[in-house]
Structure 1
């Protein structure tokens, strides 16, 4: 399966949870932890592409797209980087900091979006085409699934642009949304993403299903139990949410069929991020979800719909 992130509905992890998750992820192999390669013969994307699951080297043509003088000077992180409580660079992984003008955290309704890893798109474009044809929104989740704050400016650009190129080759659209692996991003990642025309989406509720294959104490029914708890929490009823789930493993992906009835019974709507925000999912004028028609009308009547919608959605 594609190493995709299935966004349904979901809440910020506590600082302790995020630090624990980051430490756990850092101990795993670089790239996508435990990610399976294509298990059956499939037609890969034609042409020359970077090595799968490896951070792509800087690409001069891609780098020219960004004015690096306008990118934050946040330092590169490492496995031993400690959280700075003053957080001058709005490092979400440590403090949960978000920039209201750029980060998509909450929205008025619900969403279903796949953020895909470029290496998997290259290996199995057929699966991506099925998801896109079914009407799901497709977003960028980098080429190799490395923590972006640990990479150079030029490598971050390559991670995003090679993935965008693979998606374009496979389904002929260019996503406008990205989700950083592990939720690892700061002002430097924001600045680069913004210059490339991408909006950063981050979850606010986490099922922690990523623990299912690494933590023997994790129980799969915790996934639907989380949703049951969330829909019954009065503090969470005043707004929509972005929840984090993964379809990387069959065991966790199968729980979606149990989650959807819980949301519907609680009168929640399940939408793509773009539809939820009244925004366009792609650079191209493509509609894969009926709700996107409203976004097109809004664009036609607004002098600067992108910045307005982004700011309003994250306040």
Structure 2
């Protein structure tokens, strides 16, 4: 009975979102971004400026009138979290201390039975966008008629809504990458839920999509995170190959290092999901070159992995 009520509640929320989306959507332009360049991966430092309207259906659900900043509040939405043990909390440096019985991906690559890790080809996936550099990536893929996968951050979607809509219009796979890129195992159950809630709502209000897949920032995925995600209809997609392209930003790795790794993976006949990023121009350059190394591979993560027939969105 409790399970039925929960799914009815979620279904009602989705109906409200769908009804209001097409009547409330207005033309929008890209927002602005401010970031501390000494911590380019800390998305909580960003000051949000957006033209995405806060829709009436979301006002009805949340009682709020504007998008939250770096700390999205948890909204009671009928999804039961009370039966999920709230803890342990830990940061990434302590991940391996909590690996036993928790199946922590970023410690020992432990994957749950529903996690998506492997594909039949080497597949490009991009995290942390959209950004003002993403259109160049989209133009390149459009020219060669290639589809890839983007795992988007909620506040990035708010700041670059037109780019997010273009990703969707071009037929790329769109997954959830949380609202502001926290390490999820360090959060409470309600804080984790809020990351899922608000990113789902942003994606729906901006392009009318409700995601079925997510990628945890930093690979911060354990059984508690998996359980909460499943309550929101989200399946984890992780990766088998980490390009570590982001390290080229702080010059602890070179672009050539990335190309050498990808070339070796391809020559060895390896398959699987490659982790890349599109939050700045130099990483887009790397992504374009990696695509050229891989050749004519146009596979999105859900289309050639566990269930090729599974829909991307709800």
Provide TM-score, normalisation by structure 1.
Answer: 0.70
Mapped pair 1:127 → 2:163: yes
Cα deviations across residues 283-314 of structure 1 (Å, max 9, x unaligned)?
Answer: 1xxxxxxxxxxxxxxxxxxxxxxxxxxxxxxx
Query: 1:191-206 residue pairs with structure 2 within 5 A?
Result: 191-206=227-242
What residue is the counterpart of 1:43 in the other structure? 51
Cα deviations across residues 8-49 of structure 1 (Å, max 9, x unaligned)?
Answer: xxxxxxxxxxxxxxxxxxx9588438x8768xx863343534
What residue is the counterpart of 1:226 in the other structure? 261
Please list every run of 5 or more consecutive structure 2 residues that lacks an aligned counterpart in the other structure.
1-29, 32-37, 56-64, 125-147
Cα deviations across residues 134-185 of structure 1 (Å, max 9, x unaligned)?
Answer: 1101110000100000011011111011001110011111010000001101
Alpha-carbon distance between aligned partners in 1 of 2:98 and 2:188, rounded to the nearest angstrom? 23
Determine if contact 1:66/1:196 at 8 Å carries over to the other structure.
Answer: no
Alpha-carbon distance between aligned partners in 1 of 2:150 and 2:185, rounded to the nearest angstrom? 22
Alpha-carbon distance between aligned partners in 2 of 1:227 and 1:181, rounded to the nearest angstrom? 22
What residue is the counterpart of 2:207 in the other structure? 171
What residue is the counterpart of 1:55 in the other structure? 71
Provide TM-score, normalisation by structure 2.
Answer: 0.70
Alpha-carbon distance between aligned partners in 2 of 1:82 and 1:258, rounded to the nearest angstrom? 33
Mapped pair 1:32 → 2:46: no
Query: 1:16-27 residue pairs with structure 2 within 5 A?
Result: none
Determine if contact 1:74/1:89 at 8 Å carries over to the other structure.
Answer: no
What residue is the counterpart of 2:272 in the other structure? 241
Which has the bigger relative contact order, CA under 8 A and spacing at least 6?
A: 1
What residue is the counterpart of 1:270 in the other structure? 298
Please list every run of 5 or more consecutive structure 1 residues that lacks an aligned counterpart in the other structure.
3-26, 284-315
Q: Structure 2 vs 1, CA of residues 45 and 74 (structure 1 numbering), >3 Å: closer, same or farther?
A: same
Alpha-carbon distance between aligned partners in 2 of 1:204 and 1:80, rounded to the nearest angstrom? 21
Length, aligned pairs only? 243
Computed over aligned residues only, the root mean square deviation of the Cα atoms, in angstroms, reads 2.6
Determine if contact 1:178/1:200 at 8 Å carries over to the other structure.
Answer: yes
Deviation at 1:202, TM superposition (A): 0.2
Q: Structure 2 vs 1, CA of residues 217 and 126 (structure 1 numbering), >3 Å: closer, same or farther?
A: same
What residue is the counterpart of 1:65 in the other structure? 79
Task: Report the secondary structure of 1:163's partner residue.
Answer: helix
Alpha-carbon distance between aligned partners in 2 of 1:178 and 1:86, rounded to the nearest angstrom? 21
Determine if contact 1:143/1:163 at 8 Å carries over to the other structure.
Answer: yes
Please, which moves more after superposition, 218-227 or 115-124? 218-227
